[in-house]
Structure 1
Amino acid sequence: MQDATAQMALLQFMQSKLSTITLPASVHCDHLILAKRNALLDLSNAKTQNKEIYDFLLSACRKYGLDFWEPGAGIIHQVTLENYAIPGMMIIGTDSHTPNAGGICSIAVGVGGADAVDALVGMPWELLMPKIIGVHLKGTVSPWCSPKDIILKLAGELTVKGGTGYIIEYFGEGVHSLSCTGRATIGNMGAEVGATTSIFPMDDNILEYITLTERKHVADIAVKHAEICKADDEVLQNPHYYYDKVINIDLSTLEPYINGPYSPDRATPLSDFARFIQAEKYPEHISAALIGSCTNSSYEDLSRVYSLLTQAKKKKLALRTPLWLSPGSENIYQIIKHNGYLTLFEQFGTHVLANACGPCIGQWKRSDINENDTNSIINSFNRNFAKRADGNPNTHSFVSSPEIVTAMALSGSLLFNPMKDSLINSDKEPVQLSPPDAAPPAPRELLHTIFGSKPKGLITANEDEIARKKHIVSISPDSERLQELQPFEAWTQKNFTQLYLLIKAKGKCTTDHISMAGPWLRYRGHLENISKNLLIGAVNAFNDKTNHIYNPFTHTYQEIELVAQHYKIQKSNLIIVGDENYGEGSSREHAALEPRFMGVKVVLAKSFARIHETNLKKQGILPLLFIDPTDYDRIQERDSIDVLRVTELLPQSRLELVLHHDNGSTHSFEVTHTLNATQTEWFKQGSALNMIKNTLSSA
């Protein structure tokens, strides 16, 4: 669990009254570090500003038996790949990019905090049985291409919801040309197409990575079970029979991709990118180039950056755009420090940031532009929703591979194509970049020294249960960042009548739109305070504005927080209406907790993203689906809405929605849902956590 989601997960676990967790677990402090200047200063500031949160997480880990990774130890998914993930393991993580571990042949699934609590207390964790997309990789990647381009291309084909309800399994001879960390990049960004997870077969490349990270004993065990860590021969011989879908990608003809802006599935091949930028009239000048995030911060990634900057130095080129770089872990940082990479990065003026998420999740304090300036950035991250990186709605964020980001930083322009264009060096001569060299392995002695010792920043859960009882997890009642949770009320066993429409969201409404990150991360442990950001990024379908909705009590338009507080004071019951793939993006369960706290009983959408739909169910909100998507258009701004047949709620049952329009007319239509028997019980008892407590208390 990362520190932003672990707060609420542990607050929920504490409600179970158990004295210890029932399976291995860890907390990683990577989300709360604000990128501003450099690693040293930013990390120092984070430890001061977030001391209350870090102390809470550490005390909870010590008391209940979780590993704790201190700030600066690294990004959760890179740390997991280096230390925990092994072939054949099942991992759940409270972060949507947990499938990063699929690169090492783990089944790794991103979940909400309440799902994690199921596992921590020893209850069954359930998941709708996914289908399988088989992606057949042929050939080997050409120069300038990287594993990132495979998933960027695939995102363009599948779109942000095309992988929903599927595991993506990669197979074919092309797989074996990819490194373990390259596969992790692909698995990581499978979250951007909605996939449950992604997985690669175990082979020599994976075993080499496990061995290089000083876990040869694990590699030896994995070899003994190699047959179950790859697709069966029958599947490889007849993939169309066994997979629900098959997608073919020829790596030898693949070219680099750049995706964006505003959506990670907006894929454009590099050869067409300059035309695309000019046609759309996007800013051509690049204001910042950023490398890192959980998607591309491995040693292999940074070695390709080093290769291009080495060329640039020889060819007398300088950066024309500021370059920001975040190593994935302290181990990666130590490697690039000892083998000279860091020296070259600093010679080029690179801002080397803490081993943390930073700008990728909006933890970036920019001083190079004014607020709301129109600008373009390019990065090796995974998501590029509006406002995500820097809070600026006018920042056009483009996602690509580390080598393309580096090349673009040397040019300063989105019109540059390093595969064919030249740059003018300091001698006024035209020079051309060559593709980056393959990553040379770091010296074995260095890897043994770094990976063979106890990881820096790890506080292990090695005390017995009796010793752990002495630890106290305290929360100040005056804290603005932490707040003990109160149980949500159980369903009243009545239909929902006279629901007020909080908002009818138009178009893309991600968990970032529902519960923004950035400066709001500081309130992730305080439900009342963070609920003030509910849906402030969502577009109101009735006026195409954000944070601007109708208040039926004042008959005026106001910010959502003010209107929602009005409803809460009046104890009004609410409904939210969403568009397609409502709740895509991160796993943050605050996007479900906040509406529940503010009185939302129902969320109705054309379709849901998997994790968010589950999170709504876990918190006792009824997620409903339009049967006829055109009924979305029938809902008017001042409607009062009834949801009938809730008293007859069963798996696969249909409910009736009645719209009472402002002019006195009514309209009704049927809606459906995906709750199974257990999930129906969550709803009836008020939340999954309520059901867990009731089950444990009666055991």
Structure 2
Amino acid sequence: MIRLLDCPVVLGTQGCPAPAPAGFDVEQGREKTMAYVILKAHNQWDDMENLRLKFDALVSPDNNYVSILQTARASGIEKFPVPYVLSNCHNTLCAVGGTINEDDHVFGLSNVKRYGGIFVPPYRAVLHQYMREMMAGCGKMILGSDSHTRYGALGTLGIGEGGGEVAKQLLGRTYDLKRPPVIAVWLEGSPKPGVGPMDVALTLVGATFANGFNKNKILEFVGPGVGSLSVEYRMGIDVMTTESAALSSIWTTDGAVESYLKMHGRGGEYRPLAPGEGACYDGLIEIDLSAVECMIALPFHPSRALPIRELKENLDEIVAQVEAEGQRIKGEAGEPFRLADKIRDGELVVDQALVSGCSGGMFENIAAMADILDGCAISGNGISLGVNPASVPLMADLMDQGIAGRLAVSGATLRPAICGPCFGVTDVPANNQLSIRHVTRNYPNRDGSKPGQGQMAAVALMDARSIAATVRNGGRLTAATELDQVHYSSPEYHFNPAIYKGQVYDNFGGGNPAEPLVMGPNIGEWPEMAPLAEHLLLKVAGAYDSSVTTDELVPSGEASSYRSNPEKLAGYTLISRDPGYVGRAREVRAQERLRREMGLAAVTDQEAGTILRRLQAELGCEEGGIALGSIITGPQIGDGSSREQAASSQKVLGGLADLAGEYATKRYRSNLINWGILPLVTAESLEDIRVGDYLLVPGIRSALKEGRSDLRVRRVTGVQREISCTLGQLTEEERKILLSGCLINYYAQERRTMDGGEEHER
């Protein structure tokens, strides 16, 4: 079904992949990949090893565009240099905090009026569906501040990053990175009826996430199997490549892509894309589509994927494992987490089903569900089914063709085009319930539950077809391929361009600097952030023994409603994983503020004061030469969303560094740098590092100025020891950002330099 090959692979004269033969010019072959050609076209200088990229378009959802706009405004933005789409699809239905959600939408619209952007009002489209329909095109690159920015099926390299990288593009800067490796994904065969795009995606994610095979790489989909898939099917696989930790993705294009673009009024955006003969890749993933089974990703990660058949064959054992993991996550709060009671008469019975967003809410998925559910009546005392089509044009055609009506008669409820179910702000299951969903993620509390408060539910990921089969079977877990005599009608989708033309405000190129920015009372300015000191004394405010996700660092749900108020949002940092973290970090921040404002004698924490005095004498530095801050440690940090608040909230609370065995994604590491947080990495065990320990990072400012990345971090309390660390590869600009204390400070310094008439260098 799937095979991985971790060596240089060449596409030969027949197009079939094979290991590169001895003497083959690997570098010349890499230049023949689609990814290389697109990267070269967007690179702003001749060095193809160290890329400086500019994008054709940008996109942000409402859960992070305010902070991006505030950063750009503080850095002197005058207009949006490329089309910038502000989508309002994440926090539309969340009423927490009174007026603040709509205040943010009004603020976004006022920025579009002033700087010349594109505003997609609430309920019109999920951001990625709008970008597919209206912005993606062959050979383009699009940067988004959402991790699922993926438009490879339409020939566009899409990259999801933190808001700082989007702000850089708004200011005319470049996206800088080492040229990433490219992995060929060779598809052959065609899927069996009932096997959907999520089944293929979970097969891919399950085989590649845990071993890091795709981490920070570009996936290039090639092979005869591509032509057997519709464009929407390809999109459904493509968007899930984020969950394999890939940086981006690109697919060969064909007549189906051309027809899709023509239907959306953008036929001129098409051109054929294919790797050149002799294209060389850094690895290979082979997938036989005809052998893919209906899959399920168990709680609490998309990579915990296995065939539904295998789960049913080993139901008691696997459910017990998931229940134990859920109990570990929930801890001692409230009643025990239960999942075994979902097994009834030897079958797993599900409580809730949802199909939504950029992965599930596409036309073909929903039409297939209607075919499976025809003649079904969903009982009011069992499983429920909610469907969120990904855009109003999709919803309109589902209604025009009678598909929406058939679903309604079956008992499904159709909802607006929002990301709510995937983001954890709508459709939260009851305590101890099991929900099956065709969405992108199933992390703990991604469903909106609160393990730390004794509220715990579980989400499993499945394809829309198997979800419909399960609903038809009264909630008993059922693969779509188990059903007999389902006629898949495969209706053709018809896009109505009048919907967006009349409802989306496209003001690109029409900005008016006289337009006022409308800022609601919750929209807060960023607090002052000091430049990097010569030495850092860091108190461990959080020490973790397993992966820390961005959803844990800054949870979705009602917490994200405060996304535009840095201090309020920071109060939710790690609240589900470690409720004591915020208080510990704030106490360290308070001590540092006292020291800065009133001197070391004002520090009330006796241990901190004693250590600072000792180190000041030992290092021979002035009082301001050492900064006091907090740090978190763990084996892996940053898996999941691209939201920059996972880093900025740490900084607002006084965090100055993370210390990890690895960072799960490039985007999280970039977020740390852009907020002036040191991304320290070590190969040494951190098991002995505990909350309350103090770590010294000596001479860090000098090290960055001198271009050094390898450091020795000292534990100065308890059993003292040195930890060998590295900051990894840093660009010159990243070093300057860290020295300045954050991206905002760096740009402010540049403006002062330019205003002073001094020569400005990039």
TM-score greater than 0.5 by the shorter chain: yes
Does 1:296 find its partner at 2:360? yes
Instruction: Tell me what 1:680 maps to.
Output: 735
Inter-partner Cα distance in structure 2 for 1:112 and 1:389: 22
Inter-partner Cα distance in structure 1 for 2:181 and 2:711: 27
Does 1:621 find its partner at 2:677? yes
Alpha carbons 1:103, 1:182 under 8 Å: kept: no
Secondary structure of 1:50's counterpart equals helix
Q: Which among 505, 512, 535 is matched to residue 551 of structure 2?
A: 512
Letter in 2 for 1:560: Y
TM-score w.r.t. length of structure 1: 0.85
Letter in 1 for 2:565: H
Does 1:272 find its partner at 2:310? yes
Does 1:245 find its partner at 2:304? no
User: How much has 1:398 moved relative to structure 2?
Assistant: 0.5
Instruction: Tell me what 1:131 maps to.
Output: 181
Instruction: Tell me what 2:65 maps to.
Output: 6
Q: Which among 91, 100, 108 is matched to residue 32 of structure 1?
A: 91
Inter-partner Cα distance in structure 2 for 1:295 and 1:248: 22
Alpha carbons 1:32, 1:46 under 8 Å: kept: no
Secondary structure of 1:182's counterpart equals helix
Secondary structure of 1:188's counterpart equals helix
Given the superposition, is the C-alpha separation of residues 328 and 436 from structure 1 closer, same or farther in structure 2, using an over 3 Å criterion?
Answer: farther
Deviations 1:558-592 (A, max 9, x none): x3332222222212733433334411111100011
User: How much has 1:5 moved relative to structure 2?
Assistant: 1.1
Q: Which shifted more, 122-131 or 271-280?
A: 271-280
Q: Which among 515, 536, 560 is matched to residue 581 of structure 2?
A: 560
User: How much has 1:278 moved relative to structure 2?
Assistant: 2.2
User: How much has 1:439 moved relative to structure 2?
Assistant: 2.0
Secondary structure of 1:561's counterpart equals helix
Letter in 1 for 2:570: S
Inter-partner Cα distance in structure 1 for 2:731 and 2:258: 40
Q: Which among 405, 409, 418 is matched to residue 471 of structure 2?
A: 409
Secondary structure of 1:683's counterpart equals helix
Inter-partner Cα distance in structure 2 for 1:324 and 1:576: 41
Inter-partner Cα distance in structure 1 for 2:713 and 2:639: 25
Q: Which shifted more, 645-654 or 335-344?
A: 645-654
Alpha carbons 1:93, 1:108 under 8 Å: kept: yes
**Paired residues, what number?**
625
User: How much has 1:25 moved relative to structure 2?
Assistant: 0.8
Letter in 1 for 2:660: A
User: How much has 1:435 moved relative to structure 2?
Assistant: 4.8
Instruction: Tell me what 1:542 maps to.
Output: none
Inter-partner Cα distance in structure 1 for 2:314 and 2:631: 36
User: How much has 1:132 moved relative to structure 2?
Assistant: 1.1
Inter-partner Cα distance in structure 2 for 1:512 and 1:258: 21
After TM superposition, the structure 1 = structure 2 runs for residues 161-560 of structure 1, keeping only pairs within 5 Å, are 161-219=212-270, 222=271, 226=272, 229-235=273-279, 242-279=280-317, 280-281=319-320, 282=339, 283=342, 284-310=348-374, 312-313=375-376, 320-366=382-428, 369=430, 373-393=431-451, 394-420=456-482, 432-435=483-486, 437=488, 439-442=490-493, 447=495, 450-451=496-497, 454-461=500-507, 464-465=510-511, 468-475=512-519, 479=521, 481-492=522-533, 494-497=534-537, 499-538=538-577, 546-547=578-579, 559-560=580-581
Deviations 1:119-146 (A, max 9, x none): 0010122133211111111111112212
Given the superposition, is the C-alpha separation of residues 125 and 571 from structure 1 closer, same or farther in structure 2, using an over 3 Å criterion?
Answer: same
Does 1:571 find its partner at 2:584? no
Does 1:80 find its partner at 2:122? no
Alpha carbons 1:47, 1:71 under 8 Å: kept: no
Alpha carbons 1:323, 1:409 under 8 Å: kept: yes
Letter in 2 for 1:202: T
Does 1:50 find its partner at 2:101? yes
Secondary structure of 2:749's counterpart equals helix
Q: Which shifted more, 355-364 or 206-215?
A: 206-215
Deviations 1:201-236 (A, max 9, x none): 1111111111122222333xx2xxx2xx2211222x
User: How much has 1:610 moved relative to structure 2?
Assistant: 1.4
Inter-partner Cα distance in structure 2 for 1:378 and 1:187: 20
Q: Which shifted more, 169-178 or 268-277?
A: 268-277
- Aligned identity (percent) is 23
Inter-partner Cα distance in structure 2 for 1:72 and 1:255: 34
Alpha carbons 2:715, 2:721 under 8 Å: kept: yes
User: How much has 1:462 moved relative to structure 2?
Assistant: 5.1
Inter-partner Cα distance in structure 2 for 1:47 and 1:193: 37
Alpha carbons 1:155, 1:192 under 8 Å: kept: yes
Alpha carbons 1:380, 1:402 under 8 Å: kept: yes
Q: Which shifted more, 316-325 or 390-399?
A: 316-325
Deviations 1:180-206 (A, max 9, x none): 222122221111111101111111111
User: How much has 1:341 moved relative to structure 2?
Assistant: 1.0
Does 1:107 find its partner at 2:157? yes
Given the superposition, is the C-alpha separation of residues 592 and 33 from structure 1 closer, same or farther in structure 2, using an over 3 Å criterion?
Answer: same
Aligned-residue CA RMSD in angstroms? 2.2
TM-score w.r.t. length of structure 2: 0.79
Inter-partner Cα distance in structure 1 for 2:659 and 2:487: 49
Gaps of 5+ in 2: 1-59, 321-338, 343-347, 594-627, 755-759
Inter-partner Cα distance in structure 1 for 2:506 and 2:138: 23
Q: Which among 82, 88, 94 is matched to residue 145 of structure 2?
A: 94
Secondary structure of 1:63's counterpart equals helix
Alpha carbons 2:156, 2:250 under 8 Å: kept: yes
Given the superposition, is the C-alpha separation of residues 620 and 414 from structure 1 closer, same or farther in structure 2, using an over 3 Å criterion?
Answer: farther
Deviations 1:295-317 (A, max 9, x none): 1211112111121122x44xx78
Inter-partner Cα distance in structure 2 for 1:501 and 1:484: 27
Given the superposition, is the C-alpha separation of residues 201 and 640 from structure 1 closer, same or farther in structure 2, using an over 3 Å criterion?
Answer: same
Letter in 1 for 2:655: V
Instruction: Tell me what 1:424 maps to.
Output: none
Inter-partner Cα distance in structure 2 for 1:47 and 1:566: 29
User: How much has 1:414 moved relative to structure 2?
Assistant: 4.8
Does 1:150 find its partner at 2:200? yes
Deviations 1:264-298 (A, max 9, x none): 10011121121344212343321110001211211
Given the superposition, is the C-alpha separation of residues 206 and 563 from structure 1 closer, same or farther in structure 2, using an over 3 Å criterion?
Answer: same
Alpha carbons 1:73, 1:456 under 8 Å: kept: no
Instruction: Tell me what 1:39 maps to.
Output: none
Alpha carbons 1:318, 1:348 under 8 Å: kept: no
Alpha carbons 2:190, 2:225 under 8 Å: kept: yes
Instruction: Tell me what 2:637 maps to.
Output: 582
Does 1:602 find its partner at 2:657? yes
Letter in 1 for 2:468: T
Letter in 1 for 2:121: E
User: How much has 1:47 moved relative to structure 2?
Assistant: 11
Letter in 1 for 2:436: I
Alpha carbons 2:71, 2:744 under 8 Å: kept: yes
Instruction: Tell me what 1:637 maps to.
Output: 691
User: How much has 1:80 moved relative to structure 2?
Assistant: 0.5
Inter-partner Cα distance in structure 2 for 1:3 and 1:653: 36
Given the superposition, is the C-alpha separation of residues 363 and 456 from structure 1 closer, same or farther in structure 2, using an over 3 Å criterion?
Answer: farther
Inter-partner Cα distance in structure 2 for 1:594 and 1:46: 18
Inter-partner Cα distance in structure 1 for 2:635 and 2:206: 17
Given the superposition, is the C-alpha separation of residues 327 and 408 from structure 1 closer, same or farther in structure 2, using an over 3 Å criterion?
Answer: same
Letter in 2 for 1:460: D
